[in-house]
Amino acid sequence: MVLPEDPAPEALLCGGGRSPVRRLTREEYNNTVRDLLGDTTGAGSGFAPEQAKDGFLNNADVLSTDQLLVDNYMTGAEAVAADALRRGVFTLPCAQEARNCAASYIADFGRKAFRRPLEQAEVDSYLALFEAGAASGFETGLSWVTERMLQSVHFLYRLEPLEAGGGHGLSSHAIATRLSYFLWKSSPDTLLLDAADQGALATVPQVEQHVARMMQDPRFEQMLGGFHRNWITYGSLGSKLKESTPAWDDALKADLNQEADRFIVELFKSGGTYADLFTANFSVLNPRLAQFYGVPAPAVDGFQRVDNLSNRHGVLTLGSFLASHATNSQSNPVKRGVVVRERLLCQHLPPPPNDIMVMAPEPREGATTRERFEEHSANAVCSACHQLIDPVGMGFERYDEFGRYRETDQGLAIDDSGNLLNVTLPPGTPSEFNGVAELAQLLANSAEGPECMTTQWLRYTLGRSLEDSDECAIQALHQSMTAANWKLSGLVTAIATSDLFRHRAPEATPAEENQ
Amino acid sequence: MIHEYSRRRFLIAGGATALALPLLESFGPRTAGAQDPEKRRLVVMNFPNGIVNDLWFPTGGETDFVIGDMLKPFDQHRDDMLIVRGLDSLAARDSGGDPHGVGFATALNGARVQEGDLFEHGAAGVDAATGWGGGVSVDQLVGQLNGKATQFQSLNYSIKNLEGTLWSRMSYSAPGQPVTPEASPQGAFDRVFGAFLQSPEVLAKVRAKRRSILDGLESEIDLVSPRLSRSDALRMQEHLGAIRELEQTVATLGDGALSCDGALMRPEIGLGAQVERRADEPANEVPNANNDLDVPVRHEAFRQLMLRALTCDLTRVTTLMTAPAVSNIVLSWLSVQRPHHELSHEGNSGQQLIDKTLIAQWYNSQVAEMLKLLKEAKDPDGQSLLSRTALLYCSELGNGASHHHNDKPHIIFGQAGGYFKTGRFVQAPEGTAHNGLLVSLCHAMGHDQMGQMGSPEYGTGPLPGMTA
């Protein structure tokens, strides 16, 4: 195959980004073998868990590979290939002799698995393996080929080999791969691979066209749910001491998590903005959830969008979010304050110093949560940090440990006033607030909030930690997003078409370094 | 398809969820022990969240020490234990970062944690973030040195399936390279004993296929590496190293069955579906008592796997992470409803003391159960496994409530072939680094030239007063 020549290099405003090699996560592995072979066994789920950083599981900077993982890859590939063999995936209608037929499979499947055309030497190497396996039959030969491809570093890692002489270019196949693992968490489809073969992913309009197409795919919705779970940190629904009121069972927890995912998707599809993320007063509920929240049930069974809900303020009032940030016995304003600071404002807080007894005050009659927590925060050593945390978390006090709205706490009136210190607000805006509704407005109007969202998207999309050299590209994104009113789907497109995403910082091979 | 190979008299357990393991009784390697009478084993287990020092450590003298409530489960193993008090993790003290995390990452290597911004829970603020642990841990080092004789250099297990962080990895194969422990008993069984269930013909085919595939994978890495950046090429070398280690396992696939000939299989452990195929959990996340209910059965399963792998001489090094650092496991089967870490920061009276004691006793009883099995199991020459074993039991912290890295708990069980003089309670001089004890373990495992673990700034040579 003759590849078209690369177009003349673009002039970059900010330069490309650092680009460490990315390994497929277990989620990406499962999605990829599903899309390549129709595998639905979830073979990757049993693999060794990824290393975690900043709440995400795809950060290349913390990657580490050991024998357990390559053993997992081996037995995983064997299981996936065995399942494909059973389903007749390797039963090819061969019009030609077996060897040629196998060569076609190797080139075709290899292109999908390695996300680029195979070199002839690679085809030959896999043909030799096919012939060894074919001693036990044609299909077994193809099964061996498939097993090896699924263990190959060209499959397991997203390798972006450097062009001789450095430069910031990425091959069109690398761009196709970046797009598909950004938007779908899976391998490029035929349209993307064809576009890459034709070199038709080099310009911004070409990329935009594919992004628009890919955002209509269910795989995009899955990605949205996955990203927001990691960013906003909902979905960690632990046990509660008062399990019976309400029936805090697996079915309810699953519904709460679904509600959150569906809310996010609905927000994207309806053109929602960053502000809507915190102020939208709709949700997507089924009858069980409507009963749980004490709101009128949707007219039909299943999940339905329900508008004009009182006490609803976007992600901040999702049950899955509120219950994830509570203890098993109470609402816990400290946890809720910390998550707003760390995840939504990207402000890092030091943990309590050593030699301090850290404990949440237990619920007791005759005292509200606020009263009990204010006692512990009165300590001078603690208050330096807790003045940033507790007054934010107190704003959530009308929501109990399950995430339900409440009017009283231990039978006493609730004071949910708070203060969002150390955040840049529009001139003249007081940082004091009452309740989640006003807190949500402050977040929506803050300078740090939208910037934090960009940071979190970039961590997830680039699969690495951010650093000073990314600042130029981040500022450029912010300018264009501010002009576009921070429409959520617009941010996805803006990232996909950014210099940071479509280019890489020049790097040298070890041999070039030594010259 | 699983082939039952009847000559070895394996009885495969009925029922899809039962995990069949070789029967302990009538168990015994045929030849291996006789060839290497000196073979020594290292086992490591941890106690999470640190201790209440004065209630944990014994009172009294070196040999007439008196065990308190917390260590009660070790009463029956008194003659096989060497309790060391007064050891500090100076490496943790000098590492900055989160005290639980750096305490965990230094416990088995004595090396200062790597600098970096990977793990940002710095105790003194953002600048105190750290990278991964900074040295090879004693279990991995011994595995690398002694493991060529066995199918697995080491077998590393974890009760919980956790994402990799500073708080959830205690072994390191090299500086900055954490070892991921296997958290599925079924997966662990398949990996170590699965081949025992295959006929020699099938095994030969599997080996041949895997070898040619692994060969191909290695040459792919060699070909692509020169076209990558230096750091990416290093990742590829790490992957290549892991494949080479896997090759050792594949080459001897099923061989252990020969040395375990005469073993029986029985449905020893009925592992219900609830302990399998579970999703991983973020380290240090929301406590979930329901998710923790299977912790006891997992202990039992991994204990049996570790014991049998040691008895069959498939490995001589094995570790069990009973919990991550900052463990919030809820031990509700003891009627303790509060998460462990929360409790570790509370007072030492009333219900809180009762709960803390129950938790310590429970973890200690798990170790005691392992000791009992190691004592009962015999090498072919009739010696108990425990007599050739050192089991190191330690924690990420000293005093858990105040996050101290001094006066950390360390207990060695077993004599490791006569190296350790057990039946004693030894107090090291104040400020003694725990590195010396790690060196002692290397000496006990046959490497008496080993001069240091971690950094020499924390001393050289073994800890005085440990040997027989």
- What is the residue-wise DSSP string for B275-340? GSSPPPB-TT----HHHHTTHHHHHHHHHHHHHHHHHTTS-SEEEEE-S-TT-----GGGT--S-H
Report helix, strand or coil for B178. Answer: strand
Tell me how many degrees the CA angle A193-A198-A199 measures, rounded to the nearest 5: 95
Q: Which of A62-71, A93-102, A378-387, B409-418 reaches the highest mean pLDDT?
A: B409-418
Question: Given this model, what pLDDT does residue A329 score?
Answer: 81
Inspect the interface and report whether the beta carbons of B345 and A358 lie closer than 8 Å.
yes
For residue B213, the chain A residues in CB contact (below 8 A) are 74, 129, 144, 147-148, 151
Q: Does A52 lie at the interface with B, CB-CB under 8 angstroms?
A: yes
Distance, in Å, from the CA atom of B137 to the CA atom of B111, rounded to the nearest integer, reads: 9
Q: Is the peptide bond before A246 cis (omega within 30 degrees of 0)?
A: yes
Report helix, strand or coil for A243. Answer: coil
Distance, in Å, from the CA atom of A470 to the CA atom of B366, rounded to the nearest integer, reads: 50
Question: Given this model, what pLDDT does residue B33 score?
Answer: 36
Distance, in Å, from the CA atom of B86 to the CA atom of A512, rounded to the nearest integer, reads: 52
Neighbours of A357 (CB within 10 A): 12
DSSP per position, A154-202 = HHHEE--PPPTT--S---HHHHHHHHHHHHTSS---HHHHHHHHTTTTS
Question: Given this model, what pLDDT does residue B441 score?
Answer: 98
For residue A17, the chain B residues in CB contact (below 8 A) are none
Structure-block tokens of residue B382: 């009739």
Structure-block tokens of residue B76: 């029956």
Would strands B81-88 and B408-413 be described as parallel, antiparallel, or unpaired? Answer: antiparallel
Low-confidence ranges of chain B (pLDDT < 70): 1-37, 120-128, 256-289
Q: In percent, how much of chain A has pLDDT > 70?
A: 93
Of the candidates A68, A148, A324, the beta carbon closest to that of B216 is on: A148
Inspect the interface and report whether the beta carbons of B228 and A45 lie closer than 8 Å.
no
Question: Given this model, what pLDDT does residue A200 score?
Answer: 95
Structure-block tokens of residue B284: 């240090």
Q: Packing angle between helix A204-214 and helix A190-197, nearest 10 degrees? A: 170
Question: Given this model, what pLDDT does residue A300 score?
Answer: 83
Q: Give the model confidence (pLDDT) of B405-450 as tens digits.
A: 999 999 999 999 999 999 999 999 999 999 999 999 999 999 999 9
Distance of CA B310 to the CA centre of its chain: 13
Question: Given this model, what pLDDT does residue A377 score?
Answer: 67
Q: Give the model confidence (pLDDT) of B293-324 as tens digits.
A: 889 989 998 998 899 889 888 899 999 999 99
Question: Given this model, what pLDDT does residue B188 score?
Answer: 87
Is there a contact between A282 and A317 (Cβ–Cβ < 8 Å)? no
What Cα–Cα distance (Å) separates residue B433 from each residue in A286, A301, A418, B94, B407? 59, 65, 47, 12, 10
Distance, in Å, from the CA atom of A324 to the CA atom of B233, rounded to the nearest integer, reads: 40
Phi–psi pair at B114, nearest 5 degrees: -60, 145
- Whole-number average pLDDT of chain B: 84
| Contacting A residues, span 123-142, partner chain B, CB-CB under 8 Å | 125-126, 129, 132-133, 136
- Whole-number average pLDDT of chain A: 90
Higher per-residue pLDDT: A300 or A134:
A134
* Residues in CB range of B204: below 8 A, 6 or more apart: none
Question: Given this model, what pLDDT does residue B412 score?
Answer: 98
Q: Which own/partner pairs from B375-380 qualify as long-range (CB within 8 Å, at least 24 positions apart)? A: B375/B77, B375/B80, B376/B24, B377/B24, B377/B27, B377/B307, B377/B310, B377/B311, B378/B28, B379/B28, B379/B29, B379/B33, B379/B39, B380/B28, B380/B29, B380/B30, B380/B31, B380/B32, B380/B33, B380/B34
Confidence bin at A12 (pLDDT 50/70/90): confident
Average of pLDDT values for A3-27?
75
User: Where is average pLDDT lowest: A169-183, A438-452, B294-308?
Assistant: B294-308
* Torsion A123-A128-A130-A134 (CA) sign: positive
Question: Given this model, what pLDDT does residue B240 score?
Answer: 96
DSSP per position, B73-126 = GGGGGGGGEEEEEEEE-HHHHTT-S-HHHHHHHHHTT--PPPEEEEE---TTSG
Question: Given this model, what pLDDT does residue A9 score?
Answer: 54
Is there a contact between B303 and B366 (Cβ–Cβ < 8 Å)? yes
Min distance A222 CA to chain B CA atoms (Å):
18
DSSP per position, B352-412 = HHHHHHHHHHHHHHHHHHHHHHHHH-B-TTS-BGGGGEEEEEEES-SBTTTT--SSEEEEE
Confidence bin at A358 (pLDDT 50/70/90): low
Min distance A511 CA to chain B CA atoms (Å):
7
For residue A327, the chain B residues in CB contact (below 8 A) are 287
Q: Which residues pair with B46 in a beta bridge?
A: B394
Question: Given this model, what pLDDT does residue B266 score?
Answer: 34
Min distance A387 CA to chain B CA atoms (Å):
16
Residue of B nearest to A76 (CA): B187
Distance, in Å, from the CA atom of A87 to the CA atom of A72, rounded to the nearest integer, reads: 22
Distance, in Å, from the CA atom of B100 to the CA atom of B400, rounded to the nearest integer, reads: 9
Min distance B279 CA to chain A CA atoms (Å):
8
Inspect the interface and report whether the beta carbons of B228 and A359 lie closer than 8 Å.
no
Inspect the interface and report whether the beta carbons of A65 and B239 lie closer than 8 Å.
yes
Tell me how many degrees the CA angle A88-A90-A93 measures, rounded to the nearest 5: 95
Note the residue count of chain A: 515
Residue type, B337: Q
Min distance B64 CA to chain A CA atoms (Å):
33
Tell me how many degrees the CA angle A166-A169-A173 measures, rounded to the nearest 5: 125
Report helix, strand or coil for A354. Answer: coil
Average of pLDDT values for A262-273?
97
Phi–psi pair at B433, nearest 5 degrees: -75, 145
Give the count of Cβ contacts less than 8 A between chain A and B: 196
* Residues in CB range of A70: below 8 A, 6 or more apart: A151, B239, B242, B243, B246
Question: Given this model, what pLDDT does residue A502 score?
Answer: 92
Inspect the interface and report whether the beta carbons of A153 and B182 lie closer than 8 Å.
no
